[in-house]
């Protein structure tokens, strides 16, 4: 049951990555690749939890996995809020141009 949780979280991170980077025509290639590698690392950790028998090691790997997940979620949240601000500013500027023009 716990293994399904970790695999599901990796799937959620992948979906958020595709949502974030898939809609961008131009993006920062370094941050894109760093994000891909970090998601891969989370996937490896999720699979390794299955093979570990030592409880202390399981808790260490779980803690590392949760840290990675939280950092990626914060990255996606902050970039989504920046995109929302940009789209709001763009519509506000279009309204100003329409009123003045």
Domains of the chain, by residue range, sit at 2-100
pLDDT 10s digits, 8-42: 999 999 999 998 888 777 778 898 899 999 999 99
DSSP codes, the chain: -HHHHHHHHHHHHHHHHHHHHHT-SS--HHHHHHHHHHHHHHHHHHHHHHH---HHHHHHHHHHHHHHHHHHHHHHHHHHHHHHHHHHHHHHHHHHHHHH-
pTM for the model stands at 0.75
pLDDT 10s digits, 38-87: 999 999 999 999 889 999 999 999 999 999 999 999 999 988 887 777 66
């Amino acid at each position: 049951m716990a293994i399904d949780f970790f695999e599901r979280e990796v799937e959620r991170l992948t979906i958020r990555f595709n949502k974030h980077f898939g809609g961008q025509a131009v993006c920062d290639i370094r941050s894109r690749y760093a994000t891909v590698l970090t998601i891969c690392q989370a996937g490896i950790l999720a699979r390794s939890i299955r093979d570990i028998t030592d409880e202390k090691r399981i808790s260490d790997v779980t803690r590392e996995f949760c840290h990675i997940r939280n950092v990626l979620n914060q990255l996606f949240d902050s970039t989504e809020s920046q995109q929302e601000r940009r789209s709001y500013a763009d519509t506000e500027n279009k309204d100003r141009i329409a009123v003045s023009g």
